[in-house]
Amino acid sequence: MNTSKISLEFELNLTEIRKLNNMYFRRLCKEKITFFLILILFYIIFFNFFTLKTEDDLIEWELQNLVLIILSITFYCFSVNAICKVILELTSKLVLYTDFIGKYKLNFAASNIYVQAPLGTFTYQWCQIEKAVLTKDFFFLYIKDDSHIISISNDTSDGRNMKELITFVESNRINIIKV
């Protein structure tokens, strides 16, 4: 394998942003909501512990927290998908604004691929790419670790240097399947 250098940055168009939001940020949103709800639950349990005054209160505290945990899990199961859906709907409406579109980028370096967006950033190494598929309209990079697909439009009207990227991938990283 050659150790050739590459440094490309592509701003994503509206179609690519929608695909990216559906694939990546649903999981990222769920992770952030889960972390936030667990943090709130521990905060409530921790500070509720300091209100104990007698030994009898300890048993009551344990029962209250058991009920609180069960209710929290039930709330989580029913609400996390709805909350994620609302957040993704909001981002899909925000995508229509020009300033928001410019924050979605794909960066290709010699050793890493960076997927940047307002909701978070993912970093992949080239060795994580399982397959590369080139079609008439899109160039797809399949990531084996988490089953994500990076889809890049072949439209070069916005100054993208797709030929350089395709040449780099084919000569240095993985064979490209052309469909």
Distance CA 80, CA 37 (A): 10
Mean pLDDT on 85-101: 73
Residue 86 scores a pLDDT above 80: yes
Mean pLDDT on 156-175: 75
Residue 1 scores a pLDDT above 50: no
∠ CA 93-28-35, rounded to 5°: 115
Q: Are strands 120-125 and 138-143 parallel, antiparallel or unpaired?
A: unpaired
Mean pLDDT on 155-178: 76
Pick the CATH number of 7-12+103-178 from 2.30.29.30, 3.20.20.70, 3.40.50.300, 3.40.190.10: 2.30.29.30
Q: Which residue has the higher pLDDT, 163 or 37?
A: 37
Contacts of 77 (CB under 8 A, 6+ apart): none
Residue 3 scores a pLDDT above 60: no
Spell out a b/e string for 97-131, using b for 16 or more CB atoms within 10 Å of the CB, else e: eeeebeebebebeeeebebbbebeebebebebbee
Mean pLDDT on 89-94: 76
pLDDT for 151: 80
Q: Which residues pair with 112 in a beta bridge?
A: 125
User: What ranges in the chain are assigned the alpha helix state H?
Assistant: 14-20, 26-49, 55-94, 98-101, 162-168
pTM for the complete prediction? 0.63
- Each residue's pLDDT tens digit, 117-159: 777 777 888 888 888 888 888 888 888 877 778 888 777 666 6
- Contact present, 118 and 103 (Cβ < 8 Å): yes
Q: Give the residue from 153, 167, 124 showing the smallest Cα distance to 4.
A: 167
Domain extent listing, the chain: 7-12+103-178, 27-94
Q: Which residue has the higher pLDDT, 70 or 19?
A: 70
Contacts of 16 (CB under 8 A, 6+ apart): 104, 151, 152, 153
Q: Which residues pair with 120 in a beta bridge?
A: 117
